[in-house]
Chain A
């Protein structure tokens, strides 16, 4: 069974993704801030991590950095409302392969990507 971590402080959004994945039969957990995200990332093993960038306590970039330092190899997918080039480039330079601007994409597109990635 595939295991996905949703790092998202906005509860409605986290729940929407959670519900969608659940419907697709994908088990997921939610981390509501950066600290929690980093804790869970280092503690548990996930097949994919959906990462918001703007989070309380610790932002997504910091989580990425710490995870790398801790030797975590799991793929991170960013879903953020930061739409600027700099943010996307920065995230990609830290090993992120996919960057979603949440407001610009239907949730189905994210779920499709997760499904596709987990399959491969």
Chain B
């Protein structure tokens, strides 16, 4: 904010503050002075009018007394009606009454009552003879001059009042009463006189019953003797303390004693807020009330306030303009200095009004010029340094930017990683296998939910304890040695099957796998153990084994019996047989033999299908096995006069293979070739070692010149129980299982089988067994 603005603002604030406070003070003062002025007017008004009314009443009383003292009155009242003079004196008195009536327009009636209370003369002759002995004119008038309060005259049909005075003879004895009745119109005039305090100012009279005697400003004549003015103003006026004071000391004295208490701030007969006062009229017991609406009083003070503020506003504008002008002039040099500083700090000041000034401003300018000189010099040095450093900063910023980008990439990656981790955690938590993580000493760090299902123990029962406590059946010492050797010394995964006991003592079978997790120094960080409950699988396995055992045993027993007894018959144990008998028994023996083979094949297939057959590799000379098989089949081959050739290279190594399985493969190959090759056809079996191959293997080939495999059925040849159409025709008794068994064994042991065939020309089966041998497979059964 500019200095000039500050100065102007400060001055204006002070001015406004002063003005407002003085304004408030003046306003309060004015209002109260106006109010007291109004009060004063009001009281003066009521006082003067009350005095006027009293004077008026007293004048009328005097008139009454004077009239009553007239000799013609006395003479008239002394004279008896029966006297001869009565008529003339009556005439006189009538004239006098008429004169009196005419003399004053406000007099409405004049009459005379005799000492018995009967009207003896009246301006209204019809009234003569009327009895007034009970009227206040008579009862009061007998004693003294009496003013009868206003009342509605039934005769005149208007409100009037009257004055009665006793007529006395020389001794002071009562002769009669003189009565004059007036129209109260004069009071209206006196009361109505306006002082100009406001449009609502009014005065009116009320009688001692508080009924209006004069018209109301707002309701007019209708209120007279008809409406009560029962206000605080009225009740204060009739307060005996006040009336007494007025009677004894007069209005001015009352005001000086009561002060502002003679004023009433209350509501009037309309219910409007008013300021008013009152004066008691002792002669009649009336009360004069003068009042003004409060709004009129306030309006008066408002007008004054307005004038005051107009004056203030005017002077404020003049003050403000001159203040701005003066402050501008006073702060101009400072502003110039500031502008110069802003515009160009390199330049010395050369503003015309500046250097030769003799005041403080001049000193200031000179000092600045001096200072700028030295600042400029040092600034040039600084700028050079800054330029150098800026270059460095830019380079560093570039580096930082690159680092930031790299960091953002890392963060993005880690976000993905965190998501992945969450997924993994969820997966591990909910896996059906029990997963344990332990530290290198076997203390459990983590266990997933499956622990409760598999072992019955809760996660919290396990964490922090040795994982071994979960194995509740003691394991053999060699088992533990083997386990620890594998995972801790060799740092490999251990896999095995154990029997265990659940928390509820139930025994279950489980497959365990314990793997060490290594850090970058190849040290064990922790172990991950996975345990699968295989109780159910074991049960199924047992059931299958039992079935196979039973089937094999039960089927084979009768077959054995047939086999042995036919054999005994043929060997002559039962005596010599005729050639025909021998022939028949041979048929039985052959069929039985086929049945034995069929049972064996079915058992093998069931084991292959169940995956329960074992692979038990041993160092094996396959050529030797082949020779045994060839010997077994020699009889059949020779029986069909087939040309059989067996070749093998010299370098066939001993490989690790299951003897039984190899035998089954070769048996099936050869028996098929023998079966489906016609008489005098040729069969060749060869074994070779193939080393120039990604997977070095032994190649076994069986080539025949048999019926071949029909083209459309080639894709079905390895299916279980499938038999090609031509094979069916040639040999009705085949099982359709041989090739299926071969393929199943080779699939399971890492080998393969394929063939080439042309229908009617022959087939070549090619089998490969890896030189690395067959992997060991535990299983309950071998094949037969």
**A binding-site residues for B, Cβ under 8 Å:** 10, 12-13, 16, 19-20, 23, 54, 80-86, 101-104, 106-108
**B binding-site residues for A, Cβ under 8 Å:** 545, 548-549, 552-553, 556-557, 559-561, 563-565, 567-568, 571, 573, 596, 599-600, 603, 614, 616, 660, 780-782, 784
Pick from A10, A12, A80, A83 the residue with the most CB of B within 10 Å: A83
Contacts of A54 in B (CB 8 A): 553
Partner of A82 from B552, B568, B599, B660 at Cβ < 8 Å: B552
CB contact under 8 A between A16 and B571, given known A82-B549, A82-B552: no
Q: Is the CB of A103 within 8 A of B780?
A: no
Contacts of A20 in B (CB 8 A): 568, 573
Q: Is the CB of A13 within 8 A of B564?
A: yes
- Min C-beta distance of B355 to chain A, whole Å: 122
Q: Is the CB of A107 within 8 A of B553?
A: no
Q: A82-B549, A84-B545, A107-B568 are in contact. List 5 more A-B contacts (CB 8 A).
A: A16-B565, A83-B603, A101-B784, A103-B556, A103-B560
Pick from B553, B559, B560 the residue with the most CB of A within 10 Å: B560
Q: How many A-B residue pairs have CB under 8 A?
A: 73
- Min C-beta distance of A119 to chain B, whole Å: 21
> Which 9 A-B pairs give the minimum distances between C-beta atoms?
A85-B782, A81-B556, A103-B556, A107-B564, A84-B781, A102-B560, A83-B784, A16-B564, A103-B560
- Interface SS of chain A: helix, strand, loop or mixed? helix
Contacts of B559 in A (CB 8 A): 103
- Min C-beta distance of A16 to chain B, whole Å: 5
Q: Is the CB of A104 within 8 A of B596?
A: yes
Partner of B600 from A82, A85, A104 at Cβ < 8 Å: A104
- Interface SS of chain B: helix, strand, loop or mixed? helix
- Min C-beta distance of B655 to chain A, whole Å: 20
Q: Is the CB of A85 within 8 A of B614?
A: yes
CB-based nearest B residue for A17? B564
Contacts of B603 in A (CB 8 A): 83
Contacts of A23 in B (CB 8 A): 573
CB-based nearest B residue for A106? B567
Pick from B549, B556, B564, B568 the residue with the most CB of A within 10 Å: B564
CB-based nearest B residue for A87? B549
CB contact under 8 A between A81 and B568, given known A19-B573, A86-B780, A103-B560: no
- Min C-beta distance of A48 to chain B, whole Å: 19
- Min C-beta distance of A90 to chain B, whole Å: 11
Partner of A85 from B552, B557, B568, B781 at Cβ < 8 Å: B781
Q: Is the CB of B784 within 8 A of A108?
A: no
Q: Is the CB of B567 within 8 A of A84?
A: no
Q: Is the CB of B552 within 8 A of A81?
A: yes
Q: Is the CB of A12 within 8 A of B561?
A: yes
Q: Is the CB of A12 within 8 A of B565?
A: yes
CB-based nearest B residue for A9? B557
- Min C-beta distance of A77 to chain B, whole Å: 16
Contacts of B573 in A (CB 8 A): 19-20, 23
Pick from A19, A20, A102 the residue with the most CB of B within 10 Å: A102
A and B contact pairs by CB, cutoff 8 A, 12 listed = A10-B557, A10-B560, A20-B573, A81-B556, A83-B603, A83-B784, A84-B548, A101-B784, A102-B560, A103-B596, A106-B564, A106-B567
- Min C-beta distance of A100 to chain B, whole Å: 10
CA distance A23 to B573 in the complex (A): 9
Contacts of B660 in A (CB 8 A): 85
Contacts of A85 in B (CB 8 A): 614, 616, 660, 780-782
Q: Is the CB of B549 within 8 A of A84?
A: yes
- Min C-beta distance of A84 to chain B, whole Å: 4
Q: Is the CB of B599 within 8 A of A19?
A: no
CB contact under 8 A between A108 and B549, given known A13-B564, A16-B565, A85-B614: no
Pick from A84, A103, A108 the residue with the most CB of B within 10 Å: A103
Contacts of B557 in A (CB 8 A): 10, 13, 81, 102-103
Contacts of B600 in A (CB 8 A): 83, 104
CA distance A83 to B545 in the complex (A): 12
- Min C-beta distance of A107 to chain B, whole Å: 4
CA distance A118 to B564 in the complex (A): 22
CB contact under 8 A between A84 and B782, given known A20-B568, A106-B567: yes
CB-based nearest B residue for A53? B553
CA distance A82 to B5 in the complex (A): 119
CB-based nearest B residue for A16? B564
CB-based nearest B residue for A10? B557
- Min C-beta distance of B749 to chain A, whole Å: 15
Q: Is the CB of B553 within 8 A of A82?
A: yes
Q: Is the CB of B782 within 8 A of A107?
A: no
- Min C-beta distance of A108 to chain B, whole Å: 7
Partner of A103 from B563, B568, B571, B781 at Cβ < 8 Å: B563
Partner of B571 from A81, A84, A104, A108 at Cβ < 8 Å: A108
Contacts of B564 in A (CB 8 A): 13, 16, 106-107
